[in-house]
Amino acid sequence: MRPRILVFDSGMGGLTVATAIRATLPEAELVYAADSAAFPYGAWAEGPLVERIAMVVARLIDEIAPDAVVIACNTASTLALAELRRRHTVPFIGTVPAIKPAAAQTRSRIIGVLATRGTVAREYTQALIHTYAYHCRVILHGAPRLAEMAEAQLAGAPSDLAAIAGEIAPVFREIDGARTDVVVLGCTHYPLLLGELEAASPWKVSFIDPAPAIARRVGAVIAGLGDGEGAGRSRPLDGLVCFTDRREPGAAYAAMGFDRARILAMPVQS
């Protein structure tokens, strides 16, 4: 079986998830899609963003005909996953902040969650905290520019450790002699900056990148599809990246195995 998997994000963040899927399922045909015309999602209001994601994902499903869709974006998953499942029969795998593993791992019971301002504001994120981390102090922080900084750095801009330190500082807390010891990377862009995040941290913490867990989940969903889907298919779309505005894949996408672009122009109405 050669399943065709569509990995969707607003920008380059989902590449961290695509790379983990590639390692887990080397036989899969991977297509990447970035809603580049609408990046960054973190700044969007909820109503227009659900409609935007629904519109772009519907177009992608029509064009690509995937066997499964990975919403490799916390900002989109915490908002639109239920709506996407309602509208389509193809299986969706989402990405939501890894609060459950963080609560299992922390010793100090002080957890930081770094995410976009959108993800931080979601009811879904609050529900994860109440369900899995009720016994912990959870410091939720919406980093205003960190996703854009990751995108710029991958496009070749020099890293600015002082600016990164400013973006992450609020999750490092010391309360009654105990300190934050686990930080959830609740945006798929952030693992792209892992080295810089470690260098900019005031003390050592465990950063949780959910990509390997998502890849395992994708493997389980694909195994559940049986032999029918994609059986015997060659992989004509493998390595394709779709953008919603006109651009070249560039070195960062090519380095992660996506070197052919298809433009599905979907401008954002203002």
Just list the catalytic residues: 73, 187
Let me know the angle formed at the C-alpha of 74 by 71 and 77, rounded to the nearest 5 degrees.
50
| DSSP secondary structure code for residue 134 in this structure | T
| From candidates 15, 28, 40, 171, binder to ligand DGL by CB under 6 A | 40
| DSSP secondary structure code for residue 41 in this structure | G
H helical segments located in 88-157:
99-105, 117-121, 123-132, 146-154
138/143 with CB nearer ligand DGL: 143
Reduced to 3 states, what is the DSSP secondary structure of residue 100? helix
Helix, strand, coil % over all residues of the chain, rounded to 5: 45, 20, 35
Region of 21-29, 103-111, 155-163, 187-195 interacting with ligand DGL (CB under 6 A): 187-195
175/268 with CB nearer ligand DGL: 268
CB 181 within 8 A of CB 205: yes
Least distance between ligand DGL and beta carbon 49 (Å): 10
Using CB under 6 A as the binding rule, whether residue 153 contacts ligand DGL is answered as: no
Region of 39-47, 125-133, 221-229, 248-256 interacting with ligand DGL (CB under 6 A): 39-47
| From candidates 49, 64, 73, 81, binder to ligand DGL by CB under 6 A | 73
Distance, in Å, from the CA atom of 77 to the CA atom of 158, rounded to the nearest integer, reads: 30
| From candidates 108, 125, 188, 244, binder to ligand DGL by CB under 6 A | 188
Using CB under 6 A as the binding rule, whether residue 16 contacts ligand DGL is answered as: no
* Contact footprint for ligand DGL (CB under 6 A): 9-11, 13, 39-42, 73-75, 116, 119, 147, 187-189
